[in-house]
Structure 1
Amino acid sequence: MTEPGGGGRTGWVAPLCWSAVALEGFDLVVLGVVLPSLLDEPAWGLTPATASLVSTAGLLGVMVGALSAGPLADLLGRRRAMLATVVSFSVLTLLCAVATGPWTFGALRFLAGLGLGGVLPVALAMVNEYGRSGRGGSATTALMTGYHVGAVATSLLGILLIPVWGWRAMFVAGALPALVLVPLLARYLPDSRPQPPPATGAARSRNPVAQLVRDGYLRSSVAFWVASFMGLLLVYGLNTWLPEIMRAAGYGLGAALAQLLVLNIGAIAGLLVAGRVADRTGVRAATPAWFAGGALFLALLAVPLPGAGIYLSVLLAGVFVFSAQVLVYAHVSQHYPDHARASALGAASGIGRLGAISGPLLGGGLLSAGLAYPWGFFAFAAVAALGAVAVLAVPRAVPARAR
């Protein structure tokens, strides 16, 4: 099924893919870190409205990259796809450091997003392919800890670099790790080019994209796309607006920011727990349970709680909400045949990015209407419930002709 290439060693797959995903985590928060400095650039004339357009351009690039990188990885080889994505987004991230205005900057963010969007589906496909049998859940969640580590590292870099070197130094710092990572990927990452299924009267299934909607997989694909949309809506909506919603509930700014930190601490803890649970109970059972847990604790945030109670609720919401989306990826990895795995992951990640765009819009709309508290939490809880329903709609097995 796979052939080693480029001096690849399977033991290097997990750490190298983790490192690549950590660089994508850098992109998760870098715009938020540099945005105050960009708004102060007198020659740019950037406003919150145009800043939102720049953010959306980057997310659209990530969506297009995720949708296209998966099929390319399945057809041309996952090692080549990983190298191409890391090189492209690193070069374009570096170019962001010399952008001369908001429109140039937005265009570069879109182009960098094309490579960034391809990292995750390729990395997920590889760690599931080379991971130990029966450990797909923990392999996926362990990989995604890199995403959050990269995000935290970016926040710390912003504190250290921006006051001394300015916002442009952040994009230089985001590109420099490629000088080490790319040679390691080229030297140690094994080649992986899944073979299409044997020609048992169905040459049509040789196309990995067509596989997502044929041979009994259409219902599964639609269900996974809906679940991924809901999952990423929650991730981006809460990370963007939780502090403001908590301020609308009467908490001070310091407490609201502390609750955002607690939410992301819960996310990391949830990743470690969810993977082990999924390995024991099966990812099919764990994924809707995690969405349901997210719905419960999000709804509980709408209830005023004394003292540490609110922090405990925020922590538990983070444990379930963020891991639910990662378990969707683990479920996708196990559900589709090997020759279409990266395409399936790319489609789930790419279509889910529409949820990443919708989440901040939903939160912002509720805040503008004065409904953020408590109805914002009820709205997010309903989204999590819909995610659980979508996962439950995935068939237990596909028809025998697809297997």
Structure 2
Amino acid sequence: MTTTTSDQQHELHVRKRRNLTWVVALGFFGLVFDGYDLVVYGTVLPGFLSDPSRIGPLTPAQGGVLGSYALVGVLVGALLTGTVSDVLGRRRLMLLAYAWFAAAMGFTALAGSATTLGIGRFAAGLGIGALLATTGALVAEYAPPGRKNLFNALTYSGIAFGSTLSALLAILLLDSIGWRGMFLLGALPLVTLFPLAVVKLPESAAWLQARGRHEEAEALAARTGIVLTDDQAASAAGQEETTGTGRSGFAGLFSGGNAAPALLLGFTSVCCLLLVYALNTWLPELMGRAGFSTKGSLSFLLVLNGSAVVGQLIGSRLADRFGPKPVVATAFLLGAVAIGLLTVQAPLGVLLLFVAVAGVGTSGTQTLIYGFVANHFRTTVRGAAVAWCAGFGRLGGIGGPLLGGLLIGAGLALNSTFFVLAALALVGSVLTLLVPRTVRGGR
């Protein structure tokens, strides 16, 4: 009997590990293309500004507006997904997001004008928004207790990895494949990731339980090795209704004790994404104006995003140990200091070090924020919470390219531009510290 029980436990552990691996891997590679899209426009923007024959004449301000179209799409896609992900499920929305995003990137590669390019960028943003809003919820519902921030960071490190890959491919391939080829690479998920996810991506047993579909949840839990928690069972049985916090989706997110942390985390995400998109869109141009060559400027982009991968993995382990709030606040503070130090006269190696720390305090911090949100709220509002963070936060993503374009177009000194961005990082740190402790039933 002991041997049988031991064998059963081992088999349960193997199934759980296998399915968690698939969830994290598919989420990671999906977000690689989100990160790729984040940076690819910044890599081709200097060419658009200097060569009107590509998509027509562009001023820096117009280039910033065009860069924001994708972010508007992310906002719309994430918020629309937030209204249905806690009702329709995680899996089908992730599959739709993979296919939609890839098709939109292919369309963008064929654009013949700034208007067509903008439409393609907006459409791609819709898919990215849906993916961002759903991935964090699914990972949180498969990750083991005490390691949720780590697995969230492993998954969302795909964004920084994709951003780094985009900058690297631009350095190596942009001259040979052109801007159309750079966008066409973003269509690869349609023939790679999507068919694999159809076969391997599981639904969330916790979501099924929270929707009252107990038999399906138990069957899926048995197949995947997931152990359903008492919190999920209570949510499904409606026991939280008596506390006034049993509503699902956005209705539950903005009621009771959920509202204050949801608003604060939303504005924290706005701050962080404003920094992320301002730097990723305009850093090559800013460093070019500081006297660096085109490939040298792209190297700053490579370091900015490469450092975020390492920083968020270290930060996630600290978040699992000490809680995400102090870690996120500290990361913002480090980012503020590093961005401010970009104004000093220093050797190239020192400047690259400052950029690396800035990457930890911007792109790396956004990943920690997603983990903060995904594990702060209960199952029935988790999808809406991540969607809110990804969607509402995209107001900052929209504002980032616009802010950079306005500051540069207005002739603001290079140092002043960096000081403005450093001040925004300080605001993000303060907002993080104001977030109340985890609400009842949040884990």
SS at match of 1:147: helix
Moved more, 186-195 or 314-323: 314-323
> How far off its partner does 1:401 sit?
8.6
Please tell me whether the aligned partners of residues 10 and 190 of structure 1 are also in contact (alpha carbons under 8 angstroms): no
Residue aligning to 2:29: 19
> How far off its partner does 1:308 sit?
4.0
Could you list the runs of 5+ residues in structure 2 that have no partner in the other structure? 1-17, 212-234
Please tell me whether the aligned partners of residues 287 and 391 of structure 1 are also in contact (alpha carbons under 8 angstroms): yes
SS at match of 1:206: coil
Relative to structure 1, the CA distance from residue 17 to residue 388 in structure 2 (aligned partners, 3 Å threshold; closer, same or farther) is same
> How far off its partner does 1:371 sit?
3.6
Which of residues 101, 112, 115 in structure 1 aligns to 2:127?
A: 115
> How far off its partner does 1:306 sit?
5.4
Relative to structure 1, the CA distance from residue 297 to residue 344 in structure 2 (aligned partners, 3 Å threshold; closer, same or farther) is same
Relative to structure 1, the CA distance from residue 172 to residue 306 in structure 2 (aligned partners, 3 Å threshold; closer, same or farther) is closer
Q: Show CA shifts across 1:210-266 (max 9, x none).
A: 112102111101110110011011111222333454566x55446655444333332
SS at match of 2:343: coil
Q: Which amino acid aligns with 1:31?
A: Y
- Cα distance in structure 1, aligned partners of 2:341 and 2:52: 41
- Cα distance in structure 1, aligned partners of 2:442 and 2:169: 48
> How far off its partner does 1:331 sit?
0.8
RMSD across aligned C-alpha pairs, in angstroms? 2.8
SS at match of 2:393: helix
Please tell me whether the aligned partners of residues 205 and 214 of structure 1 are also in contact (alpha carbons under 8 angstroms): no
- Cα distance in structure 2, aligned partners of 1:260 and 1:233: 16
- Cα distance in structure 1, aligned partners of 2:348 and 2:441: 57
Relative to structure 1, the CA distance from residue 226 to residue 63 in structure 2 (aligned partners, 3 Å threshold; closer, same or farther) is same
Q: Which amino acid aligns with 2:203?
A: D
- Cα distance in structure 1, aligned partners of 2:338 and 2:63: 32
Residue aligning to 1:238: 279
Residue 180 (str. 1) matches residue 192 (str. 2)? yes
Residue aligning to 1:45: 56
Please tell me whether the aligned partners of residues 93 and 134 of structure 2 are also in contact (alpha carbons under 8 angstroms): yes
Residue 387 (str. 1) matches residue 399 (str. 2)? no
Which of residues 230, 243, 263 in structure 1 aligns to 2:304?
A: 263
Relative to structure 1, the CA distance from residue 45 to residue 241 in structure 2 (aligned partners, 3 Å threshold; closer, same or farther) is closer
- Cα distance in structure 2, aligned partners of 1:209 and 1:167: 39
Q: Which amino acid aligns with 1:24?
A: D
- Cα distance in structure 2, aligned partners of 1:183 and 1:307: 44
Moved more, 195-204 or 354-363: 195-204
Which of residues 63, 84, 99 in structure 2 aligns to 1:72?
A: 84
Q: Show CA shifts across 1:316-371 (max 9, x none).
A: 22223322222111111111111111111111111111111222333333334444
Moved more, 333-342 or 32-41: 32-41
**What percent of counterpart residues are identical?**
39
Please tell me whether the aligned partners of residues 273 and 397 of structure 2 are also in contact (alpha carbons under 8 angstroms): yes
Relative to structure 1, the CA distance from residue 130 to residue 42 in structure 2 (aligned partners, 3 Å threshold; closer, same or farther) is same
Residue aligning to 1:63: 75
Relative to structure 1, the CA distance from residue 185 to residue 204 in structure 2 (aligned partners, 3 Å threshold; closer, same or farther) is same
Q: Which amino acid aligns with 1:212?
A: L
Please tell me whether the aligned partners of residues 161 and 305 of structure 2 are also in contact (alpha carbons under 8 angstroms): no
Relative to structure 1, the CA distance from residue 221 to residue 273 in structure 2 (aligned partners, 3 Å threshold; closer, same or farther) is same
- Cα distance in structure 1, aligned partners of 2:273 and 2:38: 12
Which of residues 100, 107, 128 in structure 2 aligns to 1:88?
A: 100
SS at match of 1:396: coil
Matches within 5 A, 1:144-293: 144-158=156-170, 163=175, 166-192=178-204, 193-194=207-208, 195-196=210-211, 197=235, 198=238, 200-201=241-242, 205-246=246-287, 251-253=291-293, 256-293=297-334
Please tell me whether the aligned partners of residues 37 and 163 of structure 2 are also in contact (alpha carbons under 8 angstroms): yes
Could you list the runs of 5+ residues in structure 1 that have no partner in the other structure? 1-7
Q: Which amino acid aligns with 1:214?
A: S
Q: Which amino acid aligns with 1:47?
A: L
- Cα distance in structure 2, aligned partners of 1:98 and 1:256: 27
Relative to structure 1, the CA distance from residue 298 to residue 396 in structure 2 (aligned partners, 3 Å threshold; closer, same or farther) is same
Q: TM-score, normalised by structure 2?
A: 0.80
